[in-house]
Amino acid sequence: MSEPYSSPSADVMIQFDRVVKKFGDHVVLRELNFSVKPGEFVTLIGPSGSGKTTILRLLMTLEQVDGGTIQVCGDYLSHMQRGGRFVPADERYLRARRKRIGMVFQQFNLFPNMNVLQNVTEAPVRSLGLSKADAAERARDLLDMVGLSDKVQAHPMRLSGGQQQRVAIARALAMRPQVLLLDEVTSALDPELVAGVLSVLKEIARTTDITFLCVTHEMQFARDVSDRVMMFDKGQVIEDAPPEQLFTQPAHERTRSFLHAVIDRSG
Amino acid sequence: MDWDWGYAVDSLPLLAEGMLVTLELTLAGSLLAYLLGLVFAVIRQLRIPGLSQIVFLIVEFIRSTPLLIQVFAFFYLLQPAIGVKLSPFLTGVIALGVHYATYTSEVYRAGIDAVPKGQWEAATALSLPRGRVWTGIILPQAVPRVLPALGNYTISMFKETPLLLAIGVVDVLNRAKEAGAETFRVIEPYTLAGVFFLLVSYPASILVRKLERRVGTV
Amino acid sequence: MSDNLGRIISTLLEGVPVTIQATLGGIALTIVLAFVAGLALLSKSRTVRFISRVYVEGFRGTSEVVQLFWLYFVLPALVGLQIVPLFAGVLVLGLNHGAYGAEIVRGAVQSVPRAQFEGAVALSLGPMQRMTRVILPQAVVEMLPPFNNLFIQLLKSTALLFFISAQEITQKGEELRPALPMNDLTVIYTVELVLYLLLAIAITVGMRALERMGARRLGRRPPPRRKTFAAADAGGI
């Protein structure tokens, strides 16, 4: 890589610049551009396979770009500077960047070899170097906030899906991330457990200045909580607007038909 | 002591005789294990009161205890018991066959269990005779899937045959020992014996893996 | 019943400590080698993977009996160093079964869902922490049943130490054989086999306890109480 495509700006938290991602011959993202401001809550909607989850996985460095660049807080995510040249990022560089980014997964991905408290304290102790006592205090506060103060010593597999997902949210927040990625966090939950998780997330969005990037099929939630909604199709942003505008007067025919289909389905 | 190529080459004909014996042992032992294991598996599957449990206990006992002692036991006890002269080779084949039959019976059992229950029910619904259900329906479906596992046990058996040295079977290891005793050079014959096992078992295990990909496993 | 039963039992029991030492020593070495070689099989470095593959295939491909003969009779001729029988036995048992164990470790690590790895990445745990804190604690539980089989296989292999006169159970039995009448042979071999069976059951009982502990730690239903009868499986040895 020779030149950075664009210069970082203080007012941009996440910057995608001509990002290309392929799986084999299948192009998931084709020259994707978008940016997210600090503290913004941005929701990505669109049909499955449109590349929404891939965007989150790229930001979490679970996947690598095939072209273009991603910046978070003005730092390149896939490449680092060494001796004035851009080289692929190494593990140490990536780790430092990852500390700013948290992710909540569809399937929770809690560690079954640890209890609830250990799940939440593990990364602050091992990755941020907090003392066990400090990490435990932080964890208890967060578990209290997500309404699980009575499950601190429980085994994660003994909890309901909704409770597991709230532990996973606390676990991600314990790292005090600047960016939080939400990957269809309610898709694996029984319908009656969805509301609890969403209200926790709304509360966090309201009370913190974390930047959110959220992939969801919960349109009401997206409408309530987002500053901006981006409609994705075939690896491109086809519409990008504040939620009121996008949900009530979608400019694009594709958005209209997608919203119809989703809203019909959820009744 | 250094590797002596000349001596290594000279000892090859003698070792080759032993290699042939090792391969014969493996072949004969495997055939016995394949047949006897099937008998064990079917008896257990038939749930004949008493008999099935006894077979279960015998299988578990044999497979939890060392083959070498079973070899000794067959060698010193079987001959007087049946009153027929048994060569070390034949004793070895029996010991290997019986020991490995306990493994192969588990393989067959898994294969039989893997045949869907609906097959038994369909056969019953057609009121097929019991023998025909086994030979015509269950085993033809179970056996192909167990072939890779049986192959693996043959390879295992192959590598265990040298312990028959203890009762005087003249296999490749015994020949190596013989060569070493004559010349007081042990490096070449023992190393060649090891190489022989590797040269046969490694390609064989690759073949089994290929077979596995074709027919699947149980 | 034989008049010599007492003598047979007491003689064979003399061999039990060596059999146990060889088994425990072999198991210890097996565990170490299995983890080192198994994790090496998953290394990013081609060279490391290759070296480990050579060890695994080399020891799985050549016969254990031949390995024992090689170590005990050839190595001294090569380096002029005679190894104590028990030590040679532990070495061969460990090297051989460690090669099989390496595949168990590799398979168990690979069986941990990728989501667990991703969860650890998202918390910015480093490669070492991901392995030691998240992946291995879960993989170890998967390893227990196959390791149970492997350890019983190893116990059975200790009988091969007869060939290097290590004074274990089998050796004691063969020393006793010429001294007793034919009628007593049945007793000798039966007692020998029962001793091994009891040791195999002891291994299985211990491993099952570990399995139940592991299942509890991972929040799984404890495994059903299967037959405590030793479930040895040659597994391609």
3-state secondary structure of C54: helix
Tell me the two tokens of residue B60.
């578990």
Closest Cα of chain C to B122: distance in Å? 31
- H or E segment and range at residue A213: strand A211-215
Could you report the per-residue pLDDT of B22-73, keeping only the tens digit for each? 999 999 999 999 999 999 999 998 888 999 999 999 999 999 999 999 999 9
- Say yes or no to pLDDT of C149 above 70: yes
Mean pLDDT of C185-193: 94
- Say yes or no to pLDDT of A1 above 50: no
Q: Identify which has the larger pLDDT, B171 or B118.
A: B171
The whole-angstrom separation of Cα B75 and Cα B95 is: 9
- Say yes or no to pLDDT of A4 above 80: no
State the SS3 of A226-249.
Answer: CCEEEEEECCEEEEEECHHHHHHC
With CA atoms as reference, the chain A residue closest to C134 would be A111
From residue C237, alpha-carbon distances to A30, B108, C102, C149 in Å are 52, 19, 13, 11
- Say yes or no to pLDDT of A170 above 60: yes
From residue C141, alpha-carbon distances to A1, C105, C109, C236 in Å are 44, 11, 10, 22
The whole-angstrom separation of Cα C51 and Cα C57 is: 10
Tell me the two tokens of residue C159.
């009988």
Residue range(s) defining the domain that contains residue B99: 5-215
10 Å Cβ neighbour count for C222?
Answer: 12
Q: Do B191 and C158 touch (CB under 8 A)?
A: no
CA atoms within 13 A on the CB side of A135: 20
For tokens 């490391």, name the residue: C48
CA atoms within 13 A on the CB side of C26: 31
Predicted local confidence at residue A5, as pLDDT: 42
Closest Cα of chain B to C156: distance in Å? 4
Predicted local confidence at residue C230, as pLDDT: 40
Contacts 24+ apart (CB under 8 A), B127-130: none
Name C134's Cβ contacts closer than 8 Å, sequence gap at least 6: A111, A113, C116, C117, C119, C120, C125
Could you report the per-residue pLDDT of C116-135, keeping only the tens digit for each? 999 999 999 999 999 999 99
What domains sit in chain A, N to C, each tagged with a CATH number? 38-63+97-266 (3.40.50.300)
B contact residues 15-74, partner C, Cβ 8 Å cutoff: 60-61, 63-70, 72-73
State the SS3 of chain B.
Answer: CCCCHHHHHHHHHHHHHHHHHHHHHHHHHHHHHHHHHHHHHHHHHHCCCCHHHHHHHHHHHHHCCCHHHHHHHHHHHHHHHHCCCCCHHHHHHHHHHHHHHHHHHHHHHHHHHHCCHHHHHHHHHCCCCHHHHHHHHHHHHHHHHHHHHHHHHHHHHHHHHHHHHHHCCCCHHHHHHHHHHHHCCCHHHHHHHHHHHHHHHHHHHHHHHHHHHHHCCC
Closest Cα of chain A to C121: distance in Å? 8
3-state secondary structure of A148: coil
- B-to-C residue pairs, Cβ atoms closer than 8 angstroms: 139
Q: Percent of chain B at pLDDT above 90?
A: 63
The whole-angstrom separation of Cα B77 and Cα C7 is: 20
Phi then psi for A45, rounded to 5 degrees? -125, 165
Closest listed residue to residue C87, CA positions, set C68, C74, C100: C68
Q: Is there a contact between A12 and A74 (Cβ–Cβ < 8 Å)?
A: yes
Q: Do C124 and A127 touch (CB under 8 A)?
A: yes
Average pLDDT, rounded, for chain C: 91
Minimum-distance CB partner of C152 among B64, B163, B194: B64
Average pLDDT, rounded, for chain A: 90
Amino acid at A172: A
Q: Is there a contact between C101 and C81 (Cβ–Cβ < 8 Å)?
A: no
Mean pLDDT of B166-184: 91
- H or E segment and range at residue A85: strand A85-88
| Res. C234 pLDDT band, cuts 50 70 90 | very low
Average pLDDT, rounded, for chain B: 91
Could you report the per-residue pLDDT of B79-122, keeping only the tens digit for each? 888 888 889 999 999 999 999 999 999 999 999 999 888 888 88
The whole-angstrom separation of Cα C57 and Cα A100 is: 45
C contact residues 104-133, partner A, Cβ 8 Å cutoff: 115-116, 118-127, 129, 133
Which CATH number goes with the domain that contains B119? 1.10.3720.10
Minimum-distance CB partner of C160 among B68, B193, B201: B68
The whole-angstrom separation of Cα A101 and Cα A98 is: 5
Minimum-distance CB partner of C74 among B65, B67, B186: B186
Q: Percent of chain B at pLDDT above 70?
A: 99
Neighboring chain B residues of C230 at a CB cutoff of 8 Å: 60, 63-64
Could you report the per-residue pLDDT of A77-125, keeping only the tens digit for each? 877 888 788 888 888 888 888 999 999 999 999 999 999 999 999 999 9
Minimum-distance CB partner of A109 among C115, C125, C129: C115
Mean pLDDT of C182-208: 94
CA atoms within 13 A on the CB side of B141: 15
When divided into structural domains, chain B yields a total of: 1
Amino acid at A6: S
Predicted local confidence at residue C2, as pLDDT: 58
Q: Percent of chain C at pLDDT above 90?
A: 80
CA atoms within 13 A on the CB side of B127: 0
Minimum-distance CB partner of A155 among C119, C137, C219: C219
Q: Percent of chain A at pLDDT above 90?
A: 78
What domains sit in chain C, N to C, each tagged with a CATH number? 5-217 (1.10.3720.10)
With CA atoms as reference, the chain C residue closest to A124 would be C123
Could you report the per-residue pLDDT of A171-195, keeping only the tens digit for each? 999 999 999 999 999 999 999 999 9
- Say yes or no to pLDDT of C225 above 70: no
The whole-angstrom separation of Cα B92 and Cα B33 is: 12
Closest Cα of chain A to C108: distance in Å? 15
Triad C125, C127, C132: Cα angle to 5°: 85
Closest listed residue to residue B90, CA positions, set B10, B21, B154, B190: B21
